[in-house]
Amino acid sequence: MLNFFRTGVLLAALTALFMAVGYLIGGSNGMTIAFGIAAVTNLIGYWNSDRLVLAMQQAHEVSPRSAPDLYRMVEGLAHRAGIPMPKIYLIDTDQPNAFATGRNPRHAAVAVSSGLLRHLEPQEVAAVIAHEMAHIRSRDTLTMTVTATLAGAISMLAQFGLFFGGGNSRDNPLGFVGTLLMVFLAPVAAMVVQMAVSRTREYQADRDGAEISGDPLALASALARISQLAHRTVNVAAERNPAMAHLYIFNPLSGARMDNLFSTHPDVGNRIVALRKMGAEMQVDRTGHRPGPRAQASHVAPRSGGGWRVPPIGGSEGRGGQRGPWG
């Protein structure tokens, strides 16, 4: 119920911002047109935002046949999380990262990058996917995907206002100066609304995901490794659609590492400290001596002796069919 209320408030805020941009472009008529566009966008955002996000991130669905080990891992974690099996997608980028999307647990998807499979250990990958399962279970994905879709639409509307004569319209109450301000401030306002969705959900998803996987230290290790590697590789799809950045477990864009007002994610160091503290509380160690959650999570790790392959995309296996450290 709280999630539906939060999503409603978010939609209202983004709709109001949409109407404000329309007013600056064309006065009252522009505001009315913007309201109609916002209403349609809200409907599309609710029903199809997950498909749009996956398409924008150039994600490709994988099957039990093309990625059997990954499929078994996700299936086991979904069972532990108590949610239906989500669809699995692969993003063809060497940047290690992942995100979840979907309007509810029955219509959810988890997308992982080929770089995540290539560079991380199996237990670390399981911990990352468990984090995404936590977002699905708490229904964060609805809020996150709708925010991404509408924030991107607001930015485009602001650009249209500049390039299609908004500044010259007689109905524009502030003239060309107002249009310029709108072009720069509307995307910033949309980003602030994204932040208002609350970065605390990442901390909660870290904790819930660690409980699902049974290994907080694996997630801490994964975040440390991702933070070291992510900014060495450009995630082209994410750079083209920066409004989607907050969906990922780690900021896929260059820069913006500080834990400040305009960061899409909490500081990774703070997240790692919290997970290590949780690991100490659970008395989990990396040697696997404790037969509790660690042993329970062992079935989600790949068991094939030959290691894992990055599933093929478009007829090729990732980048040259490289094998990740899965054995």
Distance CA(43)–CA(175), nearest Å, equals 32
The one catalytic residue among 132, 211, 281, 317:
132
Other CB atoms within 10 A of residue 256 CB: 14
Residue located via tokens 């709108």: 182
Q: Give the H/E segment covering residue 60.
A: strand 59-61
Both tokens of 113, joined, read: 């990058």
d(CA 161, CA 20): 12
Name the token pair of 67: 């990625």
Q: CB pairs under 8 A, 24+ apart, for 165-172?
A: 166/24, 166/25, 166/26, 166/30, 169/25, 169/26, 169/27, 169/30, 171/26, 171/27, 171/28, 171/29, 171/30, 172/24, 172/25, 172/26, 172/27, 172/30
Look at residues 248, 217, 244 and name the one whose alpha carbon lies nearest to residue 132.
248
Rounded CA separation 52/66 (Å): 23
281 a catalytic residue: no
Q: Which residues are catalytic?
A: 132
